[in-house]
Amino acid sequence: MTYPPATAESIIEGETPIFIRPPNTDDGWGIYELVKACPPLDVNSAYAYLLLATQFRDRCAVATDIEGEIVGFVSGYVKANSPDTYFLWQVAVGKKARGTGLSRRLVEAVLKRPHQADVRHLETTITPDNEASWGLFKRLAERWKAPLNSREYFSEEQLGGEHDPENLVRIGPFDPTQI
């Protein structure tokens, strides 16, 4: 492998360097394995992750270690009826890579891409007791100097009674050139 990999759009230097890049066709299974290891995330099918890694690759990112193992992943899309809003579906960082700012960098890498220049808001859903997730999105709002609002979105009942409710979190407006 050439160093750094030609596809890397962001590099986190260190004893164990990490590379951030858009996903590709070969990443579906690695993403699936990572999400499986990151409760409380819902695990979608390997097929769904392959679709994200190909048809939504411009709006998603993976982080890999020097051996190419996927240690971080973020997925999302721009809402069809609100082209200034990026909906972040899932963000996951493997246990070994946590606490080093990787999830923040994954989200910011996607939002900094030139084709995301019209995006001024980020939305996501969070279950009430996911402290790490609340911490991450509060921190992002703080960094981007943008307000954060939340409200219940999908109730436990709507989710079949076996899933915590999901709150809709909206951050923005922010200036993507300042991220």
Interface positions with ligand COA (CB under 6 A): 38, 40-41, 90-93, 98-104, 130-133, 135-136, 139
Query: Which segments of the chain are extended strands (E)?
Result: 10-12, 18-21, 61-64, 70-79, 82-93, 121-126, 148-154, 166-171
CA geometry: angle 167, 81, 77, nearest 5 deg:
65
Residues 19, 6 contacting (CB under 8 angstroms): no
Rounded Cα distance between 106 and 55, Å, is 18
Decide whether 117 or 147 has the Cβ nearer to ligand COA.
147
Cβ atoms < 10 Å from Cβ of 120: 17
Rounded to the nearest whole angstrom, what is the least distance from the CB of residue 60 to ligand COA in the complex? 13
Rounded to the nearest whole angstrom, what is the least distance from the CB of residue 2 to ligand COA in the complex? 26
Strands 166-171 and 148-154: antiparallel
Decide whether 1 or 53 has the Cβ nearer to ligand COA.
53
Rounded to the nearest whole angstrom, what is the least distance from the CB of residue 133 to ligand COA in the complex? 4
Decide whether 83 or 135 has the Cβ nearer to ligand COA.
135
Decide whether 50 or 126 has the Cβ nearer to ligand COA.
126
Decide whether 3 or 99 has the Cβ nearer to ligand COA.
99
Residues 168, 150 contacting (CB under 8 angstroms): yes
Residue of minimal Cβ distance to ligand COA: 135
Rounded to the nearest whole angstrom, what is the least distance from the CB of residue 122 to ligand COA in the complex? 12
